[in-house]
Structure 1
Amino acid sequence: MKRLTFVAMVLLFLLVAVSFSFANTSEIELYLNDEKVSFNDQPQLSNDRVYVPLRGIFEAFEAQVEWNDATQTVTAVKGDTEIKVTIGSKSAKKNGTNIMLEAVPYLSQKRTYVPLRFVGEAFGAHVNWDGNTKAISIVTAGDLPVVGSFETLKKLLKENADMRQSYLYNGINEAVSDAAVKSVDRVELKSEAASSPEHSETNVQVQGVDEADIVKTDGEYLYQVSNQQIVISRIFPADELEVRNVIGFEPRGDTSGFMPAELYIDDDYLIVIGTAYYRHEDITVDKPSMARPEVYPPVNINNSIKIIVFDRTDRENPNQVREIEVEGNYLSSRKVGSSLYLVSNKYFGGYQIMGTETEYVPALRYRDNESSFTEMPYSKIHYFPKAISPNYLTVVAVNLDKPNEKANISTFLGAGENIYASPEHLYVALTEYEAAETKPAVLPLEQQKMIAPPVPLQNNETTAIHKFALLNGNMVYQGKGKVSGHILNQFSMDEYNGHFRIATTSGSLFGQGQNQSSNNIYVLDGKMNTVGKIEDIAPGERIYSARFMGERGYLVTFKKVDPLFVLDLKDPDSPKILGKLKIPGYSDYLHPYGENYIIGFGKDAMETADERFGDGVSMAFYQGMKIALFDITDVNNPIELHKEIIGDRGTDSELLHNHKALLFDKERNLLAFPVTVMEINKQQENTGSWPQYGEFSFQGAYVYNLDIENGFNLQGRITHLNSQDFQKTGYYYNNNKNVKRIFFVEDNLYTVSDGMVKANRISNLEEIDSLNI
């Protein structure tokens, strides 16, 4: 039978006649891979079930469909998959195997209608019906090869090791030349409920996508990760601070236990994410049905990621209701509504796997509210071509509102490095290396031993971005995009109006010629194809921060000065640079302030000459912390409207490494963040040509009023250190009283350290109460 096109499929929907009554079907909308399919005659809604025309849906998947009038059977074939559906029967067949349908298919006006859920079961698509919006979302899975067996794993690892060996040899000359350049031109690189009181929330990248943190509040209670425990404190009213509960996680000896790292809260749940570590004898594993020989010595679970879910109905005494665990190390997570998505990496010894004589080594283990672990079979592990490494990337997706529904756990051979999430999609970025074009050099064995780990050629470095659809606690892999260079962090990525934007740095900061660093902006469409780009931005520099905001983007690069680039991304096919500003220093983090302003947090810098490196050779050194307000009203000529310098060389803030440390509220003109201030003793003369480091002088919160007209107005500083603590300080000071987070509830400001919570009035920073933890 001749295959119908997608347009013909839409026409088939138009021909469908409804033979029975149904409610509000005129409002039903169909989306296929995020693209809306418009039609007049609708899928049918009956007895609280959605039915769709089988032929039209399957032909959208490019399947060939045939109708047998004698047997009242529809046969759909795509590749190696054959589906048979018979009118009036709840049993369908997939490659000869029975599939039980939730309802009986029927014939209406010579069109076969099947339950919506069957579409997903047939060809591996995920189908979601939103009863509130009357929308059908169908997401097809992208193609990734399957590892399949332990022998295939060994083969893939061996091929990858051979490829990386070529980078080792070809990268030697560049590594030597880089070292020479560094010695000449040195740039220092940086080592809830409706009744709740009004309160601030975690500073996140994307509205509607929550990020885990060490502190969360609902306005009345504070939930805090402190000293490997969860501390629950009553914080409202502010003059009655009190610890109400401490959730401890009892270690099982020196080699077993659980360490909480981050948490989430919502109206219903407290979710704790942390690391569990084990002795081998503590592990019970449910093996796959196929018996396989064990490896000796046994492969231990060194550590795993554990998600512990508590029912928060009783705010002061949460009750544990679920525990999910998967081998590996925590990369990051996001929470969209009641759905949690967690990404982890599990490294394993690739050379040990390739060298073992055993027939089998277990891959990855996991459990979901069970006492024993289940082994992930190789038949369910996919891999990323050209990005193979001795690592398992695992994505855990779970709808917390469906406790009886198992977590969706997907594992891939390959490592994730950074993630970005919108409410609809998760993107995992990882570095790939293209094969070197030059012939590998043959080096003496002693020289080979001196070079570890392998040094890849920078100009062969690319970033692969793997896209997943997020579907209410389920997840479907949708495809891969690839761009030149590597990214800095999650703020290098963004999704807007169906397009994905990414900022990368190519080459080496100290490279020359083709290996000289430069920076790029790429725009990809929904199918992860590059449709627009700007390359070779700021040659010789690298990206220090990036931020995408709607139709604009902002990029900060640095080597000796800080260029701020303003990008026009309105037309995804033709992005362009609108303007730039060059000033001393750099910004590590950019935060929006309305439509035409942006705040930069970073370091001041000074350029200085050093005769040891020859005449005319200069270097850039970072100084104190710098905050700046940039005016982008004239996009072609951005200006630094206001700036503030805090401390001297050595001053640092967690905000420069973690955006969650920022408290900002534009309506209140409130800006606060933790900072460790280092100041130079003015009585000590700096005899060297390099800038002097300061000595410890303060740790705590800096609190500013910020507005366009007056800029940064320091309202005051809040510290948890007392006079005795300051007497104990040496050159640098760090203890459990270091302020880590700041938030507000109503008109009160709270500062949090591992050892204390303190409440101050926002109006004048007068202390109200403090609580030792």
Structure 2
Amino acid sequence: MKKKIMAAGLLMTAILLTSAFTPATTNAGQQTGIQLDGQPLDFAQSPKMMDGILMAPVRELAKALKMEVTWNEAERAAIVTREGYELKLPINSDYGYINGEATTMYGATQIVDGAMYVPLRFFMESANLIVRWDSATKSVNITKPTETLPVVGTYDHLVTLLTQQEGYSVSAQNLFVKEAAKQEFSTAASAPNSAGTVATDSKAAAPPDYSSTNVQVQGVDESDVVKTDGSYIYTVNKQRIVVTAAYPADGMKVLSILDFPQDANNQFQPSELYVDDQHLIVIGYAYQNYQSLPQNDASSSSTAKRMIMPLRGEQTTKVKVYDLSDRSNLKLVKEAELEGNYVSSRKIGSSLYFISNKYVNYYYYQQLTNKEEAKAMLAPAYRDSAAGDAFTSIPMDRIYYMPKALEPNYVLIGGINLDDLQQTMHVTSYLGSGQNVYASEANLYVAATNTDYMRIQPMAMTTDVPGIRVGEPNGTSLPMEPPKQETVIYQFGLKDGEAVYKHTGKVPGHLLNQFAMDEHNGYFRLATTTGEVWRTDEGTSKNHIYILDANLQEKGKIENIAPGERIYSTRFMGDRAYMVTFKNTDPLFVMDLKDPAAPKLLGALKIPGYSNYLHPYDETHIIGFGKDTVEVDNTGNGAPNFAYYQGMKMALFDVSDVNHPVEQFKELIGDRGTDSELLHNHRALLFSKENNLLAFPITVMKLDPNQVSKDPKMGAGAYGSFAFQGAYVYHLDLEKGFQLRGGITHITPDELKKAGQYYYAGDKQVQRVLYIGDTLYTVSNSMIKANDLSTLQEKNAVDIP
């Protein structure tokens, strides 16, 4: 038996290492149509289609990439190596090991005609090469990563890329297999320095002082539902824009209301806005109603224009720019429109950038018999009033795609120069995906998390292990590893309304939100989570900090922070990073990032509760906004401990001693059920260190003390009853901490008396708090109230009709 095994091992070594193949011919390479950097690859043994997957000999693929191949008899695997790279390919296996990490290859290695064959796409992509099928030339093109994104180029190539994602079989396009991933685009923001402090506008010496939107980076404005320019308040009020003359408060009145009539051809709904000295910029959703083609009708080319949802039309993202010369009669001076759902926007100086996400409905393309007509529906389009009323389709040779984040979706970036509204909007389009968008003054970052749900790791048969698949044909069980997540970052330079691709980078794990990203001194920093909180094995959650250089290559990292917990909030502030993780308690971690190559974890503080949002107070203090928690001991029941969230919690952390952070002050608000938009949207915060002012909208729920005392079974899981909705206003300093000055509500005393356990404030729900000079304003859909900033005494109120 040993002799047979040894003979088999020697035979496999000979198969992999000898050159006793049929002489290579150009025809062999041309027949398969496989090119590496534009040059045909010659194969002595031709690649083959096996079960719809294009397979090629391991030895010849390795030779083409100047790699070494050896045979490991003990593991029954081929080992392909190059400096800093190792690929282990077990025989008759559908997974391989890339630098020791098991990865599904969507096709199994096989011995064919004395040679080991491997899925060509897996082999090349494991070496960080880009593989794509060009149906126009009937060839497989393999290219090295470059400093530019690849171009879609033709409708045929677009169809191939979409086919890759949909998993359909079209001739040799079966090289591509659908990858498990689901795109979810969320809003994101900006960068480092100001960390969201309230600042005055850039108008030269324009008294009085007034607050602006709480943003993440100074110089990069974020849209919101309420804005002020120091004299007027502009609000998104349901499906209208309301302009109110607000200062001085005794003359406050509604100046104008901008309505957007809803009819079959005009269905614009405003969602956010910007304001500067000259313009009011309204961003919202619009719907273009198109007549739908029957699924198999190819007769009418006039109806082929964009058919996504046949019964409701297609959603677009629209920008309306108004001249503010006469605020009582706003004049529309420009409209710009991108197909797709609104994602996010930023205003940097006189440049406005807005982003949409257009789903490519490949299903309808497949149903139509006239493919040329159907192809026209696959192209994204935009409209700019400076060029007319018609939509302009973006040609395929102007659409790039993101190889590491390929999705049936277009990311459209529109750039408008507000200083020259006659200039046509600049539009860039990318086929791909992204879950988070981040912008500094100079760069835009699109981050997409890829998830591989197919990774498995074989092991001996076992029982009582979470995530085990038992009863495999080969007598082994396959524990399901946590899905491998990798976040790919695409960087685009921003200048004069244009977004130009610069670099690509990647880090393990997924991002929480925009505050998990930051740009500082030429470095890009990220906070990610890998694994799952519920697991108790090696697949449990872990948290990390990564620092990338100007080319988005890894420079430094801190890994495996707080195993078993996940990130609830992150804040980068200059050379430091603060991270809150949570499961049953709230650890606040402090990290030193001054040396990007060697970041350090300095200290941690564990306290009850958690923070959803971290806001800087000054260089040595940070404010946390979140929920209080009560941990429940379940050890007697044989179950793990867990924590009930309670009311809202604010904490002021002193990080002067970075190795020993301290919770200097805390404030608990209400009981279980209390909530604030601030916990989900940082723009709801009003903070001014100079005025010792802290304010935000809140809904307060309180338990009845008598009810609690009569019913001892009411524990940490009991919800409170409605007690208040409005704005809480605090005085905050480093001597006395949080001091509640009072609450401002738009609900009348009679309405409050009628409230039950739950109460819906409706149009009277306070959404934002701001100040102009010595006056504090609270804004709801029904009214704007003006209160004295010092005493909180009401000065005036105006009803919004």
Same fold (TM > 0.5): yes
Alignment of 1:340 with 2:352, yes or no, is: yes
1:279 to 289, 294, 304: 289
Alignment of 1:363 with 2:374, yes or no, is: no
**What displacement does 1:697 show?**
0.7
Cα distance between partner residues in 2 of 1:598 and 1:330? 32
Matches within 5 A, 1:445-464: 458-464=482-488
Cα distance between partner residues in 2 of 1:218 and 1:280? 39
Q: Deviations over 1:713-763 (max 9, x none)?
A: 111110000023213423322301111100111111000011110000111
The normalised TM-score by structure 2 is 0.70
Cα distance between partner residues in 1 of 2:794 and 2:291? 52
Cα distance between partner residues in 1 of 2:644 and 2:574? 34
**Cα distance change on mapping 1:464 and 1:297 into 2, 3 Å:** closer
**What displacement does 1:568 show?**
0.3
Alignment of 1:618 with 2:641, yes or no, is: yes
Tell me which residue corresponds to 1:155.
160
Cα distance between partner residues in 2 of 1:226 and 1:166? 42
**What displacement does 1:374 show?**
1.1
**What displacement does 1:392 show?**
1.1
Amino acid at match of 2:644: F
Alignment of 1:223 with 2:247, yes or no, is: no
1:246 to 254, 257, 262: 257
Amino acid at match of 1:218: D
**What displacement does 1:700 show?**
0.5
Cα distance between partner residues in 1 of 2:430 and 2:482? 25
1:491 aligned counterpart, secondary structure: helix
Cα distance between partner residues in 1 of 2:229 and 2:637? 59
Contact 2:452 2:483 in 1 (8 A): no
**What displacement does 1:676 show?**
0.3
Amino acid at match of 2:156: E
Tell me which residue corresponds to 2:97.
none
Matches within 5 A, 1:90-169: 142-162=147-167, 167=180
Contact 2:634 2:640 in 1 (8 A): yes
2:666 to 639, 643, 647: 643
Tell me which residue corresponds to 1:666.
689
Tell me which residue corresponds to 2:92.
none
Contact 2:517 2:527 in 1 (8 A): yes
**What displacement does 1:293 show?**
9.0
The normalised TM-score by structure 1 is 0.73
**Cα distance change on mapping 1:272 and 1:166 into 2, 3 Å:** closer
Contact 2:292 2:303 in 1 (8 A): no
Cα distance between partner residues in 2 of 1:264 and 1:296? 32
2:277 aligned counterpart, secondary structure: coil
1:708 to 734, 738, 761: 734
Cα distance between partner residues in 2 of 1:292 and 1:278? 18
Alignment of 1:595 with 2:619, yes or no, is: yes
Alignment of 1:490 with 2:514, yes or no, is: yes
Matches within 5 A, 1:252-331: 252-253=263-264, 256-280=266-290, 295=304, 298-299=307-308, 301-331=313-343
Cα distance between partner residues in 1 of 2:437 and 2:504? 14
**Cα distance change on mapping 1:439 and 1:388 into 2, 3 Å:** farther
Tell me which residue corresponds to 1:766.
793
**What displacement does 1:147 show?**
1.8
**What displacement does 1:314 show?**
2.5
Cα distance between partner residues in 2 of 1:158 and 1:542? 36
1:727 to 753, 767, 780: 753
1:648 aligned counterpart, secondary structure: coil
**What displacement does 1:298 show?**
4.7
Q: Deviations over 1:28-80 (max 9, x none)?
A: xxxxxxxxxxxxxxxxxxxxxxxxxxxxxxxxxxxxxxxxxxxxxxxxxxxxx
Cα distance between partner residues in 1 of 2:712 and 2:698? 24
1:628 to 651, 655, 663: 651
1:401 aligned counterpart, secondary structure: coil
Tell me which residue corresponds to 1:682.
705
Tell me which residue corresponds to 1:81.
none
Contact 2:453 2:483 in 1 (8 A): no
Contact 2:290 2:303 in 1 (8 A): no
Matches within 5 A, 1:502-541: 502-541=526-565
Cα distance between partner residues in 1 of 2:529 and 2:554? 17
Cα distance between partner residues in 2 of 1:722 and 1:534? 52
Amino acid at match of 1:367: R
Amino acid at match of 1:265: V
Cα distance between partner residues in 1 of 2:543 and 2:404? 23
Matches within 5 A, 1:327-406: 327-354=339-366, 356-359=368-371, 360=375, 361-369=377-385, 370-406=388-424
**What displacement does 1:357 show?**
4.2
**What displacement does 1:150 show?**
2.8
Cα distance between partner residues in 2 of 1:675 and 1:294? 49
Contact 1:157 1:354 in 2 (8 A): no
Q: Deviations over 1:321-355 (max 9, x none)?
A: 10000111111111100001111111233444456
Unaligned runs of 5+ in 2: 1-145, 168-175, 182-200, 294-299, 459-479
How big is the alpha-carbon RMSD for the aligned residues of Structure 1 and Structure 2? 2.4
Cα distance between partner residues in 2 of 1:459 and 1:390? 21
Contact 1:306 1:323 in 2 (8 A): yes
Contact 2:180 2:452 in 1 (8 A): no
Matches within 5 A, 1:47-58: none
**What displacement does 1:240 show?**
1.6
Cα distance between partner residues in 1 of 2:547 and 2:629? 32
1:655 aligned counterpart, secondary structure: helix
Cα distance between partner residues in 2 of 1:213 and 1:676? 20
Contact 1:154 1:353 in 2 (8 A): no
**What displacement does 1:438 show?**
3.9
Contact 1:459 1:515 in 2 (8 A): no
Tell me which residue corresponds to 1:412.
430
**Cα distance change on mapping 1:156 and 1:478 into 2, 3 Å:** same
**Cα distance change on mapping 1:526 and 1:152 into 2, 3 Å:** same
Cα distance between partner residues in 2 of 1:199 and 1:571? 38
Contact 1:429 1:464 in 2 (8 A): yes
Tell me which residue corresponds to 2:142.
none
1:245 aligned counterpart, secondary structure: strand
Amino acid at match of 1:758: K
Q: Deviations over 1:656-701 (max 9, x none)?
A: 0000000000011000001000111223225256520111110011
**Cα distance change on mapping 1:229 and 1:321 into 2, 3 Å:** same
Cα distance between partner residues in 1 of 2:684 and 2:304? 45
Alignment of 1:741 with 2:768, yes or no, is: yes
Q: Deviations over 1:610-644 (max 9, x none)?
A: 47x93362111110000000000000000000000
Cα distance between partner residues in 1 of 2:666 and 2:686? 18
Tell me which residue corresponds to 1:428.
446
Cα distance between partner residues in 2 of 1:537 and 1:751? 41
1:515 aligned counterpart, secondary structure: coil
Tell me which residue corresponds to 2:474.
none
Amino acid at match of 2:438: Y
Q: Deviations over 1:144-165 (max 9, x none)?
A: 1122233322322232344776
1:691 aligned counterpart, secondary structure: coil
Contact 2:457 2:481 in 1 (8 A): no
Alignment of 1:752 with 2:779, yes or no, is: yes
Cα distance between partner residues in 1 of 2:497 and 2:214? 23
